[in-house]
Every structure is written in C-alpha cells, then in structure tokens.
Amino acid sequence: RGVGRLLSREEIRKALIQNLGSWTSGQGLADSLGISRAAVWKQVQSLRVEGYEIEASKMGYRLESLPDLLSENLVKSGLKTKFIGRTVISHQSLTSTNAEAKRIAPSAENGTVVVAEVQTIGRGRMERHWHSPRGGIWMSVILKPKIPPSLAFRVNIAASIAVARALEGLYGLEVGIKWPNDLMVGERKVCGTLTEIGAEMDSLEYAVVGIGINANIDPDLFPEEWKATSISGLLGREVLRLELVQSILEELERACEGMATSFDQVMGEWSDRSATLGRKVRIITRDGEFE
C-alpha cells in the first residue's frame, strides 16, 4: 500500500506540472488512478508539505508555479543532456553530496547527479568545512570518462567552466576563476568545486565533481574574512536554482565532450578566465608557503 501511495503521488505531481497554471479535475485524477477523491486530497496535502503551492477549488487543483526544489522530477524535466542527469538523486539533507556520490560511485551510471538542500558536513579542500545552508546549490556529479588518472584535473576544469558559462548566460555575471577551484565575481567567491577520484594505476574508475554555489543566501551569513558572496547578493534578487542547475549540467556535458582527446578549447577558456595567470600569488600548501 505504501508503494501505491507513492506512485499516485508521482502521477498527481506529473499531472499538475503538465497543467501548470490551469486546473486539473480532482475526480479525473481519482478515476485515472483508481483511488478515492479523499486519497487524491491527501496526496495533494503531502505535495504541499514538500513545498508545492497548490490551489484547490470546485474546478480541481492548480499548481501556480514550479517550486524551486531540486527534486529528481524537476531537475530532469526539460533537461537537454544526453547522459548527465539521467539519474538524479535528491535529498533534503546529507552530510556531504561528495561523500554520498563517492559511496555509490562504483555501481552508479555515468552522469549520476546527487543534490541536497542542506549539507551538514560540507567539505572543502584539505578537510576544510564548507558552509552549506538552505538556499544554495550543493551537488555532485559522478563522471566516468575514459582518461588516465593523470588527466583527472580536467574534470574539475570542465566543472568550473560549466558554472562560469551558466552564471554568465543566465545572469550576465562576469566570472573569473581563481586557481585552482574558486569561482569569483569581482573579488568575491560565489562557488567552490571539489573533485575526488577513484582510480586504478592507469585508469580512472570515477570522478566525483562537487559543486557548491551560494545561490540564494544572505551574504551577511558569511564571515568577512571568507571574501564570499552569493548570486542573490550580487543581483539583489533571488534566482531560480532549478534553472541554474539545469544550465550547469548542460554546460558540463558540453565541456566534457573532448575530455579524452582535445581539451584545448576548454583549457583555453579556462586560462582566459583565470584571475591568477600573470599575477604574483602566494601559494600555501601542506609543505609550506612560496610566492
């Protein structure tokens, strides 16, 4: 019975999304699903709890607008990719999408996406903490390109380029890349990427590319010394995260195209966007600092 309930909720969700902005008859839903009108009502209630704004009247049910949820259905609907995002795994909360993606990576399909509304133990590089409150985009993509482990850095470069293109295309933001993995608008960081790999001696088993974007987050939440900001802080309005996620996945697939062969075009774009090439920098590593 539990499974039946979930199935009918998915059917109702699909129908309401298909008829976005217009009415769907409650009786019609009940008839086509072979359940009572009261059961339809119950499922509508649980969709509301998920965040869907659904009107009810004598004419039936009406979804006003797509909610900005990174759910499996919404991320997949209208996504123009061949393999990235064919499987989307969406959680309300995870310790870290990278940790979860790595856990499932060995048996996961190439292009699987893991997203969470919140991360409780988001990870930066070198065991640093990544602050991941509600309103951001915290996701990881499992990729299985046929490349040697020595070329795995290309995955991270492809991800940076994908996010930069998406932010420019959708919002006209000028995005610079600060080596190795910070995406900057002006002097402030809006996104960080973290790529982790599983490999044999000479072949890459998988790469998990983690992308963290401060989308709709009050920039005052970040300590000043992080030099961080958010998309909503820069634009003065909230953005539709769903649209941004889809655009990133589409750009990522494009940027991955030549991964195993000629990666020159993406590399070229990366150096054009580099905020550090040609500048004096101080590099701080585990083994010391140098300029």
Which residues of this chain interact with ligand BT5, rule CB under 6 A?
A: 96-98, 119, 122-125, 128, 130-132, 138-140, 181-182, 189, 192-194, 210-212, 214, 222, 226, 228
CB of 116 to ligand BT5, least distance (A): 8
Using an 8 Å Cβ cutoff, are 70 and 42 in contact? no
Q: Which is nearer to ligand BT5, 7 or 121 (CB)?
A: 121
Radius of gyration of the chain (CA): 21
- The tokens for 56 are 């009810």
Tokens at 274, concatenated = 């580099």
In contact, 273 and 175? CB cutoff 8 Å: yes
Nearer to ligand BT5 by Cβ, of 9 and 273: the residue is 273
In degrees rounded to 5, what are phi and psi of residue 77? -75, 120
Distance CA 184, CA 224 (A): 15
Shortest distance in whole angstroms from residue 189 CB to ligand BT5: 5
CB of 281 to ligand BT5, least distance (A): 14
Backbone angles phi, psi at 72, to 5 degrees: -50, -50
What is the three-class DSSP state of 215?
coil
Q: How far apart are CA 149 and CA 167, in angstroms?
A: 29
Which 3 state secondary structure label does DSSP give 113?
A: strand
Pairing of β 176-178 and β 182-185:
antiparallel
Q: Which is nearer to ligand BT5, 60 or 210 (CB)?
A: 210
Distance of closest approach, residue 111 Cβ to ligand BT5, in angstroms: 16
Nearer to ligand BT5, 111 or 122 (CB): 122
Least CB distance to ligand BT5 at residue 241 (A): 13
Q: Which is nearer to ligand BT5, 95 or 110 (CB)?
A: 95
Smallest separation, CB 135 to ligand BT5 (Å): 10
CB nearer to ligand BT5: give 214 or 216.
214
Give the shortest CB-202-to-ligand BT5 separation in angstroms: 27
Residue nearest to ligand BT5 (CB): 192
Q: Are 114 and 87 in contact (CB under 8 A)?
A: no
Q: Between 14 and 125, whose beta carbon lies closer to ligand BT5?
A: 125
Residue 183: which residues within 8 A CB-CB, separation 6 or more?
160, 163, 164, 167, 175, 176, 177, 189, 190, 191, 192, 193
